[in-house]
Amino acid sequence: MNTRKTLAGIFTVLLGFGLASFQGKEDDRNFQIAKNLDLFNAIFKELDMFYVDTIKPEEMIQNGVEGMLALTDPYTEYYPEEEVSSLKEMTTGKYGGIGAAIRYYEAKDRIAVVEPTEGMPAAEAGVKAGDIILSVGGKEMVRGNMKPQEFSSKVSEALRGEPGTSFILKVLRPLKNDSTVLEFQITRKNIRTNPIPYYGMVRDSIGYLSLSSFTENSAKDFKKAFIELKQKGAKSLIIDLRDNGGGSLAEAVDIVNLFVPKGKEIVITKGKLKQGQGSFKTQSEPVDTQIPIAVLVNGATASASEIVSGSMQDLDRAVIIGTRTFGKGLVQTIRPLPYNGTLKVTTSKYYIPSGRCIQAIDYAKKNADGSVARIPDSLTHVFHTAAGREVRDGGGIRPDIEVKGDRIPNIVFYLMNDDLIFDYATQYCWDHPALASVDAFKLTDQDYEDFKKLVKSRKFTYDRQSEKVLKNLKEVAEFEGYMDEAAEEFKALEKKLNHNLDRDLDVFAKPIKEYISQEIVTRYFYQRGAVMERLKDDDDLNKAIEVLTDTKQYDQILSAPSGKDK
């Protein structure tokens, strides 16, 4: 027997079997796709023809699409033609309009102006935060049967339009003892959201730069601000990426490029298709590869912000300070659809210089109830920075120095949700037509007493989590037969946890005052004022200043671990 021929024949048979098996699986998958699309189409036709009531085709198909997308991840979204403009605004930071943030205001069942953008048509015309929108271009803006979110979208769409077009905006302005109706003639223009609300010197030679998004040309804005800070004498830099939800991957790479040499690989993307795979390197000569840098992050630092903070950490180029970041290691691509629709679809994962992917949630692995959980630390893997420092994948970027921020008390959420902080800021502006500067502003004890009076006059109440937990505990104790023995203890606990608004407003005065102060300062100095007010008492900022003024500590944090060469 010719053993070689026999083995070759067996190999050929096995290889052929493998190809046939693969082809069989692919054919079966294609059959399943065609079968289920036919079923979906047939079910819709049957409903449309035989269902007792007339169905709304667009609404029903839209719900079907949303159900399908719900099985993917939160970042894969369908935008019908009428919503594509919002997607473009999100990616470019540009739109045609008046430059004002708005939202539903329950007290008047109307839409209120939350914040006009500095230097834009609404602010230039005299529109102020707190103004209630009555009509746009002669069209009354009333809610009717719309949901609040739909109502907000309708008013937003009415305010937007082609640059150069004009209209009359009618608003109701709340005054101290009355309200008055005002009309403004406003000419729309191209609005661009400023990705850098504030930059300046925070200590002698320490520059500070707040970056709020990674929209089109944000790297150019960043470079301009950074060079200006250097001209003012900045010898070190604090980059604030807190609450920055991300944006363009390319803009993130270009910002990192300001601080690292040309030709450095910053991001690799890996996807199912070739289009989802790529390598992103720095393309230009840097501005400064030596300046000490601290990057501030928190739980809302995500996506492109994590590319910047994570790559700067992997390259030992900056000290990361704050709390663990969000953990979004996914990349989305824009795909055109029929009838001018658009699909934003996740096509790949990204990996930063150490080789790690910081995605915190595996959306392919869902619990029985449809929920998803973060990857536990025990299942993450160790990677190493350029100097040999240990870093981990999964679960976002872990700061080099963790500064635990104060948790927002439950009462603050309800005060904001009920517009009490918003209304008090409007009231404050009645009595204070102008503020000299952000630095000169301070909320006094008397101001806070006035706020407390407003809260009490509205008969404010809120759900306390402790009361809910206690109620649940009592129900469990009764069910398991412990209530008789623990009755006295429960009574004592109920007495201590009794709802006391005066006490809560005093106990949580510090965080409440901080939110009131930021809301007030924003009315006079817009977003730059809000950032400056936040920096007055900022643990993350103080820690960054401490590290940047201590060269030995800074170098030690970024150095190779003992026994390892850099």
Catalytic residues: 303, 314, 328
Rounded-to-integer distance, Cα 6 and Cα 266, Å: 51
d(CA 277, CA 275) in angstroms, rounded, equals: 6
| Exposure string for 110-139, b = 16+ CB within 10 A, e = fewer | bbbbbbbbeebbbbbbebbbbbbbbbbeee
Q: Which residue has the tokens 């996506």?
A: 303
State how far the Cα of 296 lies from the Cα of 539, in Å rounded to an integer: 10
Q: Within 13 Å of residue 13, how many CA atoms lie on the same side as its CB?
A: 6
Non-local (6+) Cβ contacts of 181 within 8 A are: 134, 170, 171, 172, 173
DSSP secondary structure string, 150-189? HHHHHHHHHH---TT-EEEEEEEEE-SS-EEEEEEEEE-E
Q: 3-state DSSP call for residue 75?
A: coil
Q: Could you tell me how many helices (H) and strands (E) the chain has, helices first? A: 17, 21
Contacts of 313 (CB under 8 A, 6+ apart): 295, 320, 385, 391, 397, 400
Q: What is the C-alpha to C-alpha distance for residues 245 and 236, in angstroms, rounded to an integer?
A: 25
Contact call for residues 292 and 558 (beta carbons, < 8 A): no
Residues 6+ apart with CB under 8 A from 487: none
Structure-token pair, residue 353: 């210089």
Tally Cβ neighbours within 10 Å of residue 452. 18
- Angle at Cα 449 formed by Cα 448 and Cα 451, nearest 5°? 60
DSSP 246-278: -B-HHHHHHHHHTTS-TT-EEEEEEESSGGG-E
Q: Give the Cβ contact number of residue 480 at 10 Å.
A: 8
CB 315 within 8 Å of CB 264: yes
Burial of 511 (0-12, 13-18, 19+ CB in 10 A): middle
